[in-house]
Amino acid sequence: MKKHYVMTAFMVVMAMFFLVSSSHATLWDFNSLTAGTNINGVNLGGLTITAPDSYVGVIADYQTFSGTPSICASSWSGGMTLTMTFDSLVKSVSIYGGDYGGDSDWFSMKAYNALGNQIAFADTGSFSGIDPIHTVAGWSGDYRYLAVSADDIKSVVLTQVTWGCLWDNLDTTPVPVPAAFWLLGSGLLGLVGLRKKFRK
Ligand SMILES: [Ca+2]
């Protein structure tokens, strides 16, 4: 009898560990990508980025506000967009947009659910210089932090409203899966029940 309790407790702990570990934030800093490559449509481990003209560039570190490789739509001109689609739904998305020059920039981010409905929006307005709140040590030029949150974000569209186009440090948090946890838990209880039945 005691053996079953120990086994069940062990499996519940394992399930909780899985749940906690799977709810960690995921950060894409693009630092392992080679400058000059086109990553349009490439799955970067749960993330796929596309542009209207099918070109998403990796920009060398010396040209970026972060001093590390960043990504960019093919044109630096205003109105260009990048669409970032996630394999699994996320509940928050943040990213830094900017460029390495000292001029005026403007970025926005729209979030969509799996049905394609817009569910969140963030906008920097016109700005220049580093982000006064989300300052990152070692970063320079112009940049701002953009963040959105909603229940079930499937994709975001990033727009360089005016000028400049670099994006870096995309950070997401996954949607928690309590339903999956309870399914797993009831499955384990069922297994324990079956073991008892066969032992009789
Ligand atoms: Ca980077």
Q: What is the pLDDT of residue 114?
A: 98
CA 187 to chain centre: 31
Distance 158 CA to ligand 1 centre (A): 17
Domain coordinates of the chain in residue numbers?
A: 1-23+176-200, 25-175
pLDDT of residue 58: 95
Residue 33 CA to ligand 1 centre (angstroms): 9
Classify residue 60 by its DSSP letter: P
Q: How far is the CA of 56 from the centre of ligand 1 (A)?
A: 14
Cα(107) to ligand 1 centroid in Å equals 18
Short-list 172, 171, 169, CA closest to 29: 169
Furthest-apart CA atoms within the chain: distance in Å = 78
Could you tell me the distance, in angstroms and rounded to a whole number, from the CA of residue 151 to the centre of ligand 1? 27
pLDDT of residue 134: 97
- Cα of 66 vs centre of ligand 1, distance in Å, is 6
pLDDT of 8: 73
What is the Å distance from ligand 1's center to 177 Cα? 30
Helix (H, G, I), strand (E, B) or coil at 194: helix
Burial of residue 28 (CB within 10 Å: 0-12, 13-18, 19+) is buried
Q: Helix, strand, or coil here: 43?
A: strand
10 C-alpha to ligand 1 centroid (Å): 40
**Cβ density class 96-109: b for 16+ within 10 Å, e for less:** bbbbbeeeebbbbb
Q: Ligand 1 centroid to 34 CA: how many Å? A: 11
Q: What is the pLDDT of residue 165?
A: 79
pLDDT of residue 101: 83
Ligand 1: centre distance to CA 39 (Å):
14
- Rounded distance from Cα 42 to ligand 1 centre (Å): 17
pLDDT per residue of the chain (200 residues) written in tens, 0 to 9: 567 777 777 776 666 655 555 668 999 999 999 999 999 999 999 999 999 989 999 999 888 999 999 999 876 667 889 999 999 999 999 999 998 888 889 999 999 999 999 999 999 999 999 999 999 999 999 999 999 999 999 999 999 988 767 999 999 999 987 655 665 666 667 766 666 666 65
> What integer pLDDT is reported at residue 89 of this predicted model?
96
Closest alpha carbon to 73 in 163, 135, 149, 146: 163
- The superfamily in CATH containing domain 25-175 is Galactose-binding domain-like (2.60.120.260)
